[in-house]
């Protein structure tokens, strides 16, 4: 799947920054493979996993089913359309997909009680997210993550880097 699943180390930091609590209602925008939604569903009461790609939703649903996770509602829709049509408030939001980010982030910020975390691999997404969060008055921080994993070579080990990720945190003042 394009973009691939979020790396475990990056997901751990993103979930920590999200501050997910037992009983929370969370939204995962651009859920892709469903990896973050599934991890969050182990803590949250309910997770709404949104992706505009039908193949991503099918894959994520299947993965959730294989993992015995039942408290995720999968929705195939553009984030901006879903947020316009649905008026519920969320405790926190994770954004792993950036398509339409500039349009849906202001709407999302009005619906989130605590924290929004956006993972970005593109510098343009980093810029758009930070600028938009600053304009909304919710920007908190950016964590630049560079992870490398060990691999065997010539009877020893070396570290192979994984592409860097920016974990952008916004603290909502909305609800």
- Interacting residues of 85 by C-beta distance below 8 A, sequence separation 6+: none
pLDDT of residue 5: 77
Amino acid 23: pLDDT: 95
Q: What is the mean pLDDT of each run of 10 residues along the chain (175 residues)?
A: 77 96 96 95 97 95 96 95 91 92 94 96 96 97 95 96 94 69
CATH match of 8-171 with 3.30.470.10: no
Cβ-Cβ contacts under 8 Å for 59 (sequence gap 6 or more): 1, 33, 34
Question: Nearest to residue 9, comparing CAs of 163, 131, 134, 174?
Answer: 163
pTM of this prediction exceeds 0.85: yes
Alpha carbon distance 60, 74 (integer Å): 8
pLDDT at 35: 94
Judging by DSSP bridges, how do beta strands 148-153 and 112-120 pair with one another? Answer: unpaired
């Amino acid at each position: 799947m394009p973009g691939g699943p979020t790396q475990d180390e990056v997901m751990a930091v993103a979930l920590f920054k999200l501050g997910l609590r037992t009983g929370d209602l969370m939204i995962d925008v651009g859920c892709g493979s469903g990896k973050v939604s599934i991890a969050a569903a182990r803590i949250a009461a309910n997770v709404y996993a949104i992706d505009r790609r039908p193949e991503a939703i099918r894959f994520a649903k299947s993965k959730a089913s294989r993992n015995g996770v039942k408290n995720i509602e999968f929705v195939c829709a553009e984030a901006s359309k879903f947020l316009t049509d649905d008026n519920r408030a969320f405790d926190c939001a994770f954004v792993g997909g950036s398509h339409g980010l500039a349009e849906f982030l202001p709407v999302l910020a009005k619906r989130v009680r605590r924290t929004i975390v956006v993972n970005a691999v593109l510098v343009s997404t980093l810029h758009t997210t930070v600028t938009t969060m600053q304009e909304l008055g919710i920007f908190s921080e950016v964590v630049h993550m560079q992870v490398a994993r060990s691999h065997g070579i010539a009877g020893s080990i070396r570290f192979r880097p994984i592409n860097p990720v920016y974990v952008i945190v916004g603290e909502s003042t909305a609800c």
